[in-house]
Amino acid sequence: MFSSARSHLSSFTTASLFLLAALLSMPAAAELRIEIVDGVEGAMPIAVAPFAWNSDMPEPEADIAGIVSADLHRSGLFDPMDESEMIDRPSDPTEVRFGTWRLLKVDHLVVGSVRDTTDGMGYEVEYHLLDVHSGRILLSQALTVGMGDLRFGAHRVADAVYEALLGVPGAFATRIAYVAVRGTGTEEEIFELVVADADGHNPQTVVRNSQPILSPTWSPDASKLAYVSFATGRSQVVVQDLYTGQNRVVSADRGINGAPAFSPDGRKLAVSLSRSGSPEIWVIDLESGRTEQLTHHWSINTEPAWSPDGERIYFTSDRAGRPQIYVMDADGRGDPERVTWEGRYNAHASIGLEERYLAVIYSEGDEDFRIAIHDRETDRLRVLSDGRLDESPSFAPNGSMVLYATRRAGKSELAAVSADGRVRQRLVLSEGDDVREPAWSPLIQ
């Protein structure tokens, strides 16, 4: 009838259990709640029918259809039907009465079911995407997840639906890292490096310190975070393994140790070090510990960002007077080429999927600092945010959204905007702590 593609997620399952084990000693962090501020007019009407629960295990709280609907809704590109408005609750394509769904003005329908795996160690989630108008099955898949990973399985379903309908991979089954600050400005100020699912659920505190933490960044396999710590009173770059809980100081030189960025192969870390007198871009070989200086200019050179193929490094430099984005070959040979020309201030580049778009902190004068996208092909800049102190842009791994930090009523919080500027989200922390320095993980394989 239809072919069934299976994706096995056993490696992920094991990994996520390790993550839990490594972090169990830390109390859970507060959870982010995501609100849609602006969606797209004419978002695609879709219905995700409740998945049938065919397992001997008690049904967990994670409601797959609800999670898939919430993911699709959050993207701003879909308008999922509320479960209470559904007349039918089919869980298999054979049970679908297309006429009913056409009357409800739904274009697409997702149905599915969950059952135990034969070894009893997890769940098998089977799901189908149907075109309500033609009655065709667009997608039929099954995936296996571990006992505690049903939420992540649901995000995978949302990713598959998103890709089938939009032709772009989804980024729902990903994580975000951010810094939460408790007791800002008080004696008891506490900085926490937190990792959560991309929908804000399942927050885990990875590092806690009374000294500032900044610039978290993901390894390409999403197993590690590099960040800047002031735990010793001076800056140092630390690599934290999320599964083993181990951490390693990779740079604690005289002066600034900052702005880490993993190379796409995960073997190197580009950083900004001022041990030579002024901040320069260096590359640290993580295995041998060897360091190599790439820039040689008395100005500030920081915020390296690798091109997806690892051939080039973008960075911020004020060698022309004010901070602008430059690009150089990753071996440091040749002169860096200036990339941004519009505005007095462009910094902190985050590279989009095909290296065409760079998300930056932009300021026209020195009044408002906003998130903008620079188009490498047209050399045009498009301002996406409207805050006064927006910073730390981080592209979703599918290039669809840019996550960033903003201010609202004197507090810092996270926000996200679609690359075309049409969809806006607020990410609000339930306990009202300051949240900043977001970093979106790569796609998790």
Partner 1 sequence: MNTALRFIALVMLAAILAACARETVEEPEAPEPPPPETPVEEPETERLDPRDFTDPRNLDNADSLLSERVIYFEFDRSNVRSQYRPIIEAHAEYLRANPSARVMLEGHADERGSREYNLGLGERRGNSVDELLRANNVPSRQLEVVSYGEERPVCRESNEDCWQRNRRVEIVYTAR
Binding-site ranges for partner 1 (CB under 8 A): 184-185, 212, 214-215, 230, 233-235, 255-256, 258-259, 272, 274, 278-279, 300, 302-303, 316, 318, 322-323, 345, 347-348, 361, 363, 366, 369, 388-389, 391-392, 407, 410, 437
Min separation Cβ 430 and partner 1, Å:
22
Pairing of strands 122-131, 108-116: antiparallel
Which of residues 202 and 324 has its CB atom nearest to partner 1 in the complex?
324
- H/E stretch holding 407: strand 401-408
Token readout for 288 is 């041998």
R_g over Cα of the chain: 23
Which of residues 202 and 316 has its CB atom nearest to partner 1 in the complex?
316
Which of residues 152 and 315 has its CB atom nearest to partner 1 in the complex?
315
φ, ψ of residue 160 to 5 degrees: the values are -65, -40
Which of residues 75 and 236 has its CB atom nearest to partner 1 in the complex?
236
Q: Which residues contact 217 (CB under 8 A, 6 or more apart)?
A: 225, 226, 227, 260, 261, 262, 439
Which of residues 64 and 270 has its CB atom nearest to partner 1 in the complex?
270
Which of residues 100 and 211 has its CB atom nearest to partner 1 in the complex?
211
Asked if residue 405 lies in contact with residue 437, where contact means CB atoms within 8 angstroms, the answer is yes
> In 155-203, where do the E strands start and end?
175-182, 190-197
Q: 3-state SS of the chain: helix, strand, coil percent to 5?
A: 15, 45, 45
Q: CA-CA distance, 237 to 257, in Å (whole number)?
A: 6
Token readout for 155 is 């995000």
Burial of 342 per CB tally in 10 Å (0-12, 13-18, 19+): middle
Min separation Cβ 405 and partner 1, Å:
9
Asked if residue 197 lies in contact with residue 218, where contact means CB atoms within 8 angstroms, the answer is no
Min separation Cβ 328 and partner 1, Å:
17
Min separation Cβ 29 and partner 1, Å:
20
Which of residues 37 and 389 has its CB atom nearest to partner 1 in the complex?
389
Asked if residue 125 lies in contact with residue 35, where contact means CB atoms within 8 angstroms, the answer is no
Min separation Cβ 13 and partner 1, Å:
36
Asked if residue 249 lies in contact with residue 237, where contact means CB atoms within 8 angstroms, the answer is yes
Which of residues 13 and 392 has its CB atom nearest to partner 1 in the complex?
392
Min separation Cβ 423 and partner 1, Å:
25
Min separation Cβ 34 and partner 1, Å:
24
Min separation Cβ 92 and partner 1, Å:
52
Residue 394 half-sphere exposure toward CB, CA atoms < 13 A? 24
